[in-house]
């Protein structure tokens, strides 16, 4: 009799009992950290699907949907797009994809994003991949690849870095307390950075996950 009840409960709570996808949050202090390049390598070498919160919002706007128009208007008015809107786009992308391993890039940006994501999706990330790159190095990289708009670039980096310290750092600290942060020293050359990334994704790293700490 119990087994019938259990089966019925599983049927009713299909979303809860179904195997949840593996999610890794990818965060960095600002543009020029190299996380986009590293995400592409992770996709190629480890079979993850890369989901960028920003790209999903832009695609929704481009689609001309009612939701997209709402997002566009909010951005134009300088308002922050509600967490639930971004989370629903991420959730839809996860559900429509045949993969079960995802890199979520550029989200959560703050504690409210984080709490809402876990509540709405009932998914807790496997870990947070944090690309730690000094502000000066990000400036140097962006100035090297974008000649002619140096002031704008530096201003953008400094604003993003300030926002990171105020909003995103608490997210890193929250997951660090749970032993879920993998810090990558992103100021090194691309191949050297990927060696660090590969070490994080190797089976051996899984066994000693509890020993990783921010420092």
What's the CA angle centered on 20, arms 14 and 21, to 5 degrees?
140
32 assigned to a ligand binding site: yes
**Residue 182 is labelled as binding a ligand:** no
Question: Is 114 marked as binding a ligand?
Answer: no
Is 88 known as a binding-site position? no
Q: Which residue has the tokens 């600290």?
A: 173
Residue 178 annotated as part of some ligand binding site:
no
Return the residue matching tokens 């786009």: 89
| Residue 10 marked as a ligand binder | no
Q: Is 58 assigned to a binding site?
A: yes
- 153 annotated as belonging to a binding site for a ligand: no
128 backbone φψ class: left, alpha, beta (φ>0; ψ -120 to 50): beta
- The answer to whether 109 is annotated as binding is yes
47 annotated ligand-binding residue: no
63 is in an annotated binding site: no
65 belongs to an annotated ligand binding site: no
Does the annotation place 145 within a ligand binding site?
yes
**140 annotated binding-site participant:** no
- Is 81 annotated among the ligand-binding residues? yes
Segments of the chain assigned E as strands: 22-28, 49-52, 101-105, 127-132, 181-185
The residue to which tokens 């002031």 are assigned: 151
For residue 129, what are the β-bridge partners? 26, 182
Beta bridge partners of 26: 105, 129
- Residue 68 among known ligand-binding residues: no
> Is 187 within 8 Å of 134 (Cβ atoms)?
yes
Q: Say how far apart CA 101 and CA 98 lie, in whole Å.
A: 9
Listed residue (127, 66, 59) closest to 89, CA to CA: 59
Distance, CA of 129 to CA of 27 (rounded, Å)? 6
Q: Is 106 annotated as a binding residue?
A: yes
Binding positions are 32-37, 58, 79-81, 106-109, 113, 145, 149, 160, 188
> Which residues does the annotation place in the binding site for CMP?
113
List residues forming the annotated binding site for ATP.
32-37, 145, 188
List binding-site positions for a ribonucleoside 5'-phosphate.
58, 79-81, 106-109, 149, 160
């Amino acid at each position: 009799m119990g087994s019938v009840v259990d089966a019925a409960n599983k049927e009713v709570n299909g979303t809860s009992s179904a195997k949840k996808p593996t999610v890794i949050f990818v965060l960095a202090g600002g543009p020029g950290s190299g996380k986009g390049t590293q995400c592409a390598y992770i996709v190629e070498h480890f079979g993850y699907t890369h989901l960028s919160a920003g790209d999903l919002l832009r695609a929704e706007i481009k689609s001309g949907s009612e939701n997209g128009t709402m997002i566009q208007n909010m951005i134009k008015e300088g308002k922050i797009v509600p967490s639930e809107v971004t989370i629903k786009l991420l959730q839809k992308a996860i559900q429509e994809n045949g993969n079960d391993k995802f890199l979520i890039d550029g989200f959560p940006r703050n504690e409210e994003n984080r709490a809402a994501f876990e509540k709405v999706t009932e998914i807790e990330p496997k870990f947070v991949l944090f690309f730690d790159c000094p502000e000066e190095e990000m400036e140097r990289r962006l100035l090297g690849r974008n000649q002619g708009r140096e002031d704008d670039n530096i201003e953008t980096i400094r604003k993003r870095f300030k926002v990171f310290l105020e909003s995103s750092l608490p997210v890193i600290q929250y997951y660090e307390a749970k032993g879920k942060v993998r810090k990558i020293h992103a100021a090194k050359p691309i191949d050297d950075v990927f060696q660090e990334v590969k070490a994080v994704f190797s089976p051996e790293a899984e066994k000693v996950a509890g020993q990783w700490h921010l420092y």
